[in-house]
Amino acid sequence: MRSHYALLAAASLLCSLSGRAQVHNALDFDGIDDKVTVPGASALIANGTGITLTCWAYPTNAAPGFPDFDGFAGMRDEFTADFYLLQVSPANNLEARFRNNAGQFFTLEYSGLQLNTWQFLAFTYDGSQLTVYANGVNVATAPANGSITNTAVDLMIGDVYYQGTDFLLAGRTDEVSLWSRGLSQAEVNCIYTNGIDVNANGLQLYYKMDQGTGGGNNAGINSLLPSKGAINGALSGFALNGATSNFVESPDVGNNIAATVCPGETYVFNGQTLSQPGVYGAAYDVGDVCDSIVTLTLANTVVNTQVSLAGGVLTAQASTGSWQWLDCGWGYLPWPGATSQTFSPPISGSYALLVTQNGCSDTSACVNVAVTGISENGLGHVRLFPAPARERVQIDLGQPMSQVALTMNDVNGREVLRKNFNAVQTIDLPLAHLEAGLYFIHIRTAEGEGVYRVVKE
């Protein structure tokens, strides 16, 4: 699907859009045997006073010549029902022909085709005038008359048939549409600028080519499905695997929305809360025949949260950004001053890393670190309360212990308190004189030792 649209100035328009996750594909033709046949499509425009055929075209044949002309799309029986777009010689020449039920034909030529470039082509007949538009501009026009009454002529895409010869396209097509009325220049330009409204008056068939995976294995697809209409196009000759002779990615023309989301965050687009990367679309009416299509390409910002442990030292694999080491055992409490790429925990425990890169933050898994000789709860069921503490903290050793030596240090290692007890089970420590922050209490006894944390509010 090709989308060509102006940049939206008002984001508030998005609230009224109808959105969906989508792909943007085109159909690549190898110029050898690839074609799409839409059977009996002339019945949809027969006996009317107007016809329009539109498509996006990407020709690649630099030297077309009979029988190697290249058909973009159209109907042709050579007797009573011709309406087609064809690349002829020289390479920049487009032939557009209408033949009525009386066998009279009217031909327009345009010498501005561009090789290896997407361009929007429209061929219209309003009952009295034929016109070819290229990228919304009137490039050829002439009077014509009559109508098509034959109801059994196929619509061909990537081919125009002539006296036993297929003029097979080397190139790509996208967004092929057939209408039962002649569109005005304003309507053609609106479609070129925005996109087709599937509910537009007179639209009979519309093929977006958005099937399958662009450049992937699409061997299970044998029909081109319409977004408007009820006639499937039969695929023939296509490899349907790889970068050619297959559905291929079709880059958008115009201004798209590109956004990224941080890990664990979401992006709201057209009422959808999105967290997965991908391409999402929405559309709103801007005219009777056209929709403005907004395309969001959403990506995830990757934050490197890998952490290695060697010799009791934790190292962030992210060499850029900012770091904050966390204490998993204390509800991911930030470890004061631990904002370097490496961190040497003073006591055994479980630690994680909060990394900020490119405006996004993410947290690593917790890593267990064993500091030789010193561990939290090394004395067994020791309790400190309240937690956090303000005026004082009570320490319950769980049982009477002897030869108790207690020291208290701040996060910078400075000793702020020291006490010794011959035999004790409960210790009352005053904290009112200390600044708020994290402190470590080191207790040595005849039974063993341990380090414990306390947060002073």
Domain extent for 325: 307-369
pLDDT in tens, 54-86: 999 999 999 999 999 999 999 999 999 999 999
Please check whether residues 52 and 101 belong to one and the same domain.
Answer: yes
Quick check: is 425 in a domain?
yes
Quick check: is 437 in a domain?
yes
- For the chain, the domain total comes to 4
For the domain that residue 444 is a member of, what is the CATH number? 2.60.40.1220
pLDDT at 283: 67
Q: Contact, 198 vs 227, CB < 8 A?
A: yes
More confident residue, 384 or 140: 140
Please check whether residues 339 and 387 belong to one and the same domain.
Answer: no
ω into 263 cis (within 30 of 0): no
pLDDT in tens, 164-206: 899 999 999 999 999 999 999 999 998 998 889 999 999 999 9
Please check whether residues 193 and 262 belong to one and the same domain.
Answer: no
Report residue 68 as tokens.
Answer: 């190697």
pLDDT in tens, 20-30: 334 589 999 99
pLDDT at 348: 80
pLDDT band at 427 (very low <50, low <70, confident <90, very high): very high
Which of the residue ranges 169-173, 292-296, 302-306, 452-456 would you say has the lowest mean pLDDT?
292-296
pLDDT in tens, 35-56: 999 999 999 999 998 999 999 9
Which of the residue ranges 9-13, 215-219, 304-308 would you say has the lowest mean pLDDT?
9-13
pLDDT at 271: 82
Q: Contact, 324 vs 307, CB < 8 A?
A: no
Q: 5-35: buried (b, 16+ CB within 10 Å) or exposed (e) per residue?
A: beeeeeeeebeebebeebbbbbbbbbbeebb
Please check whether residues 154 and 288 belong to one and the same domain.
Answer: no
Quick check: is 61 in a domain?
yes
pLDDT in tens, 97-155: 999 999 999 999 999 999 999 999 999 999 999 999 999 999 999 999 999 999 999 99
**Geometric angle at alpha carbon 126, from 123 and 132, rounded to 5°:** 25
pLDDT at 287: 65
Domain edge (last residue) among 369, 403, 418: 369
Please check whether residues 287 and 336 belong to one and the same domain.
Answer: no
Residue 162 CA: distances (Å) to CA of 40, 235, 246: 17, 19, 25
pLDDT band at 445 (very low <50, low <70, confident <90, very high): confident
Q: Contact, 107 vs 34, CB < 8 A?
A: no
Please check whether residues 423 and 442 belong to one and the same domain.
Answer: yes
Residues of the chain above pLDDT 70, percent: 91
Please check whether residues 291 and 317 belong to one and the same domain.
Answer: no
ω into 59 cis (within 30 of 0): no
Residue 137 CA: distances (Å) to CA of 95, 121, 192, 356: 16, 9, 10, 50
Q: What is the mean pLDDT of the chain?
A: 89
pLDDT at 22: 42
Please check whether residues 188 and 100 belong to one and the same domain.
Answer: yes
- Mean pLDDT over residues 420-446, rounded? 90
Residue 19 has pLDDT above 50, yes or no: no
**Separation between Cα atoms, residue 214 and residue 240, nearest integer Å:** 10
Residue 22 CA: distances (Å) to CA of 209, 213, 321: 12, 11, 34
pLDDT in tens, 210-257: 999 999 999 999 999 999 999 999 999 999 999 999 999 986 654 578
- Residue 199: count other Cβ atoms within 10 Å of its Cβ: 11
pLDDT in tens, 338-357: 899 999 887 788 999 999 99
**Separation between Cα atoms, residue 178 and residue 53, nearest integer Å:** 5
Please check whether residues 170 and 190 belong to one and the same domain.
Answer: yes
Please check whether residues 85 and 199 belong to one and the same domain.
Answer: yes
